[in-house]
Amino acid sequence: MSDPLVTFRNVQKRFGDFVAVRDMTLDIQPGEFLAIMGSSGCGKTTTLRMLAGLEQPTRGEIRIAGRLMNDVKPHDRDTPLVWQSLALFPFLTARENVEFGLKMRGVDKAERKRRALEWLDRMHIGEFADRSVDTLSGGQKQRVALARSLVMEPQMLLLDEPLSALDANLVIRMQGVLTQLQKELGITFVYVTHSQSEAFAMADRVVIMSQGDIAQIGTPKDIYRAPANRFVAEFVGRNNILTGTVKEASSETTRLATPAGTFMVETPETEPQTGTKRSFVVSADLVSLSLEEPTAANRVHAKVISEEFIGSVVTLFLESGDGQEFKVQMQERQLMNYDLHAGSQVWLSWETENAHMLDGD
Amino acid sequence: MTGNRALNIVLGLYVLLIFIFVFAPIVFSLVFSLNSQRFPTIPLGEFSTEWYEKILADPDIWRAALNSLIVSGCSAVLGTILGFATAYSDFRYSFRFKGPYLALILLPPTIPLIIMALAMLAWLSRLGLSGQLWSIIIAHSVLTAPFAMAIIRLRLQQMDPDLEAAAWNLGGSEWQAMRHVILPFCAPAIVSALCLTAAVSFDEFAVAWFVSGLNKTVPVAILEIVQGNIDPQVNAIGTFVFLTSMTLVILAQVFFISRQIRKTS
Amino acid sequence: MTKRLDLYALTWRLPIILWQLVFFVGPVLFMVAISFFVVRNYRMQPAFDFVNWEKMLGRGYVWDSYWYTLFIASLSAAIAMLIAFPAAYALAFRASENLRRWAIFLLIIPFFTSYLVRTFSWYVILAETGVLNALLGYVGLGPYTMLNTHFGTVVGYLTLTLPLAVILQTVTMANIDRTLIEAARNLGCKPLATIWRVVIPLSKTGLIIAALFCFILSFGDFIAPFYLGGSQEPTLPILILDTTKSGQQWPRAAVVAIMMMLTLFAIAFTAIALAYRKPKGAR
């Protein structure tokens, strides 16, 4: 692997007594699409603002391409940011907005205009070049904001929840535009969002933050299938989390006794101690449902409580005899094979390899 | 609901009455300036431009007008600079003693003008600055700055706070961001503040009277004329004064206040 | 956060502080200082002497003037508030949004036009043979003496304060949550009782502030009592004017000015405390 483009080493950021980022160590590789995800106040935007130089770290080091950046002023960096509010200059036209950064860098007028128009064309909004940005639609403004940052030809683009103001259809379109752009340009995107679907749809790697700490770093698949801890498992949602006592652990599998029954779980890298309390997750879409008792090692008898449709995907909410809740996700047409209603008794089962043990209880 | 309608009519007439009270002196001043009577009353005398001819031929009035122009122009520029800097500091920074800092600029209008006049007279003559046009300009800058501050602060309130940071992010230094983002964004408010502070300075007479020495401004000239006797010249001067003030206020309105009202509604 | 000299921030802050210290705080403090200076041979000399305070506070006419100014300014503030209320009520509750905006804009105009000229205009209107008496004559009334009376003074004060009172009251009442008024009506509260028991308590803060402004403006004005009231009984501002302009007695004028400022502070402080006091029983 090549040298990282960005390194955070034990970075802390405090605002008075409030710790926004606690002790962050993170590498960002050149050319990767990294999403930083978390709920509001988790420190994700502060992290991004530190990269742009809009906040100085209280402690620790931030390096970009090897250069220590802690005290470098925002305008001496090459880290254009696409703002949540877009922050387009309302008194300028679309083209003048795109030219702004070049003007600040002292690029001459003709060259500025040429490059701005080139980027506006590339974003398919060339025809609006001389319109005031106030008159543009949400999607068009978004494209102006992207062009304004990318015309600087940066090696890294920062994006702070850029799609949060758009309606659902436009978000999907812009996700396509962004991933396409990132591939074509081959530069690093650091994308801050609270939206799991945006992060998982676009990013190569996802950083999940919670209360100023990194909860997990990994590919979307890692995080989805193998959440590191209870926070991530709950944050990602659609997970069944069961807690119990370790009865027996081998290098392959661990047997865990929970109130809902005894289940086999894949043993993590460090073997759990017998007698300790541990939790594991099974993703809702990896739980099978049957009317007859299955032969699988992990099975539980449960009662249907309710169902929820989102498009063609349906989530069933169930409860086992002891009160443990379960979620099962499947396609609607699969569900039609069963004749279910609230109160129906069914069997749930899953493969041991799909049961993933969490760190801590 | 006829009772309600009757009440609305009564209240409407009442509001009209208030407006008559407020605008009667303005209207009568205009009417009497074109009236031949030495002591104007109803029925009106003949139409006459005598008073206008008189003041236009009076070199003292011309000198006062020139003085007023210089004073209100310079005070407006100074007051607006003071107001802008305060509004921007308040918008951009939080710092210790910000309350006293803001009080320092916002308090002057709450002190009666006659007291400010006495204090300015005593202090400026102590500093050797009294009796010149500059003395009035300095005093007026202090008196008008809060108006400019209020207008510009309101405008900054409407600005996306990320806008300035966006300029830095795109490679602009703090001064460049000021020049290319903050100033253009505030431009309508700045013009509006210039007009309003000029209008305030143009009409201020107490402080100007005390510290001006021999350099009379228009309101001071009026004050000295009316001290003596009834002279309808004052109505003619008054008309010019009103026209000037109104032009400034309406310009301010066009540039900013109307925009402000539309935005907040 | 790193503590370093931020030249940019200081550029926007320091010059303003210095300017205001020199040309606002300076004059006010110096005025306090000269109240202890002495005047010899028509020249003011630095000293620390209570002679001016003794002279001014020991004189009956200063106190007469003091109480008269307090009285006439309070009276005129009260009158302004009372006259303004029905108009503000109408503008706040009966007028359309648009009409209200226009009314407020029109009422702002007088603040930026010459008070001096307006006062002179009143002088002509209120005179013995003036416009108002001529009009009253047509219906067989008058003539009345209106100039050089308390009435004249109050008319002058109202020229200054009435537009402000209407604006502040209107804005205050327009901001009241309409559903509270509807709720009161719905619970059987009669219209007048609604005003007294709901509208006024809800707009208490704004009303007190409006009254305070009316008082401050009247209290400090010397034009109305001088030209329209004929300075029969000189108000404190006229006292300052006379002492400064004719007597060259700046230290004594400063004493009066300080008396005025202290009075204003006390009244403003009380009014603001009243305005923001929570009603009884509120947590």
Q: How confident is the model at residue B140 (pLDDT cuts 50, 70, 90)?
A: very high
B167 touches chain A (CB under 8 A): yes
* Angle, alpha carbons B122-B123-B125 (nearest 5°): 70
Segment A44-80, tens digit of pLDDT: 999 999 999 999 999 999 999 999 999 999 999 999 9
Beta-sheet pairing, C43-45 with A298-310 = unpaired
Q: Does the residue C43 lie in any domain? A: no
Beta-sheet pairing, A188-193 with A205-210 = unpaired
Say yes or no: A244 and A209 in one domain.
no
- Give me the residue from C115, C125, C219 closest to B112, CB to CB: C219
Q: Which amino acid, A301? A: H
* Angle, alpha carbons B77-B78-B81 (nearest 5°): 85
Higher pLDDT, B185 or A269: B185
Q: Does the residue C65 lie in any domain? A: yes
Segment B45-104, tens digit of pLDDT: 888 888 899 889 999 999 999 999 999 999 999 999 999 999 999 999 998 899 999 999
Last residue of a domain, one of A225, A260, A290: A225
A chain contacts of residue B167, beta-carbon cutoff 8 Å: 89, 100, 104
H helix or E strand, kind and range, residue A208:
strand A205-210
Q: Are B165 and A89 within 8 A, CB to CB?
A: no
Q: Does the residue C9 lie in any domain? A: no
Q: Which amino acid, B159? A: M
Minimal C-alpha gap between B70 and chain C (Å)? 18
What integer is the mean pLDDT of C89-107? 90
Higher pLDDT, B242 or A32: A32
What integer is the mean pLDDT of B116-142? 93
Dihedral sign computed on CA atoms, order B168, B170, B171, B175? negative
Q: Are B169 and A73 within 8 A, CB to CB?
A: no
What is the C-alpha to C-alpha distance for residues B102 and C24, in angstroms, rounded to an integer? 13
| Domains of chain C: total | 1
Closest CA relative to residue B110, chosen from C216, C133, A31: C216
Q: Does the residue A230 lie in any domain? A: no
Q: Does the residue A149 lie in any domain? A: yes
Q: What is the pLDDT of residue B85?
A: 97
Minimum Cα–Cα distance from C46: chain B residue:
B126
Q: Are B108 and C24 within 8 A, CB to CB?
A: yes
A220 has a pLDDT exceeding 50:
yes
Minimal C-alpha gap between A41 and chain C (Å)? 20
Closest CA relative to residue B257, chosen from C102, C159, C88: C102
Report the range of poorest mean pLDDT among A27-31, B4-8, C168-172: B4-8
Q: What is the pLDDT of residue B2?
A: 52
Chains that touch C (3 or more CB pairs under 8 A): A, B
Say yes or no: A203 and A281 in one domain.
no
Q: Which amino acid, A201? A: A
B260 has a pLDDT exceeding 60:
no
Q: Does the residue C45 lie in any domain? A: no
Say yes or no: A192 and A282 in one domain.
no
Closest CA relative to residue C207, chosen from C179, C255, C175, C233: C175
What is the C-alpha to C-alpha distance for residues B108 and B98, in angstroms, rounded to an integer? 17
What is the C-alpha to C-alpha distance for residues C132 and C130, in angstroms, rounded to an integer? 6
C chain contacts of residue A56, beta-carbon cutoff 8 Å: 1-2
B49 touches chain A (CB under 8 A): no
Q: What is the pLDDT of residue C279?
A: 61
Take residue B236 and report the two structure tokens written for it. 């003619």
Counts of helices then strands in chain A (DSSP H, E):
9, 20
Interface test with B, best of A91, A152, A190 (most B CBs within 10 A): A91
Say yes or no: A48 and A172 in one domain.
yes
Minimal C-alpha gap between A125 and chain B (Å)? 21
A222 has a pLDDT exceeding 70:
yes
Q: Are A52 and B169 within 8 A, CB to CB?
A: yes
Say yes or no: A98 and A220 in one domain.
yes
Q: Give residue A135's domain range.
A: 6-225
What is the C-alpha to C-alpha distance for residues C77 and A201, in angstroms, rounded to an integer? 67
Q: Does the residue C29 lie in any domain? A: no
Minimum Cα–Cα distance from C1: chain A residue:
A58
* Angle, alpha carbons B138-B140-B141 (nearest 5°): 65
Omega of the bond leading into B43 within 30 degrees of 0 (cis): yes
Report the range of poorest mean pLDDT among A96-100, B211-215, C33-37: B211-215
Say if CB A188 and CB A29 are below 8 A apart: yes
B191 touches chain A (CB under 8 A): no
What integer is the mean pLDDT of C98-102? 90
Chains that touch A (3 or more CB pairs under 8 A): B, C
DSSP annotation of C232:
S
Say yes or no: A217 and A250 in one domain.
no
Omega of the bond leading into A227 within 30 degrees of 0 (cis): no
Say yes or no: A161 and A308 in one domain.
no
Chains that touch B (3 or more CB pairs under 8 A): A, C
A100 touches chain B (CB under 8 A): yes
What is the C-alpha to C-alpha distance for residues A258 and A250, in angstroms, rounded to an integer? 18
Q: Predicted ipTM? A: 0.90
Q: Does the residue A358 lie in any domain? A: no
Q: What is the mean pLDDT of chain A?
A: 91
Take residue C129 and report the two structure tokens written for it. 């043979």
What is the C-alpha to C-alpha distance for residues B210 and C245, in angstroms, rounded to an integer? 8
Q: Are A87 and B163 within 8 A, CB to CB?
A: yes
Q: Does the residue C206 lie in any domain? A: yes
% pLDDT > 70, chain B: 95
The fold for domain B51-264 equals MetI-like fold (1.10.3720)
Q: Could you tell me which residues come within 8 angstroms of residue A54 by beta carbon, excluding any fewer than 6 positions away?
A: A74, B165, B168, B169
Q: Are B18 and C26 within 8 A, CB to CB?
A: no
Hey, is A181 helix, strand or coil?
helix
Q: Are A104 and B160 within 8 A, CB to CB?
A: no
Q: Could you tell me which residues come within 8 angstroms of residue C167 by beta carbon, excluding any fewer than 6 positions away?
A: C104, C107, C108
Say yes or no: A266 and A208 in one domain.
no
* Number of Cβ atoms within 10 Å of the Cβ of B178: 19
Q: Are C113 and B245 within 8 A, CB to CB?
A: yes
CATH number at residue A333: 2.40.50.100
A chain contacts of residue C2, beta-carbon cutoff 8 Å: 56, 71
CATH number at residue C145: 1.10.3720.10
Q: Does the residue A207 lie in any domain? A: yes
What is the C-alpha to C-alpha distance for residues B24 and C155, in angstroms, rounded to an integer? 12
Closest CA relative to residue A263, chosen from A348, A345, A346, A352: A352
What integer is the mean pLDDT of A225-254? 87
CATH number at residue A75: 3.40.50.300
What integer is the mean pLDDT of A286-308? 89
Segment C136-192, tens digit of pLDDT: 889 888 788 888 899 999 999 999 999 999 999 999 999 888 888 888 888 888 888
B261 has a pLDDT exceeding 50:
no
Say yes or no: A38 and A174 in one domain.
yes
Q: Give residue C106's domain range.
A: 60-275
**How many CA within 13 A on the CB side of residue C79?**
19
C3 has a pLDDT exceeding 90:
no
Say yes or no: A117 and A165 in one domain.
yes
H helix or E strand, kind and range, residue A325:
strand A325-331
Rg (CA), chain C: 24
Say yes or no: A285 and A189 in one domain.
no
Take residue B196 and report the two structure tokens written for it. 């309003």
Report the range of poorest mean pLDDT among A45-49, A184-188, A311-315, B25-29: A311-315
Q: What is the pLDDT of residue C171?
A: 93
Q: Strand pairing partners for A245?
A: A257, A277
Say if CB B187 and CB B80 are below 8 A apart: no
Last residue of a domain, one of A225, A257, A284: A225
Last residue of a domain, one of A200, A225, A250: A225
Take residue A207 and report the two structure tokens written for it. 């950083």
Q: What is the pLDDT of residue C45?
A: 87
Q: Strand pairing partners for A63?
A: A7, A68
Say yes or no: A185 and A329 in one domain.
no
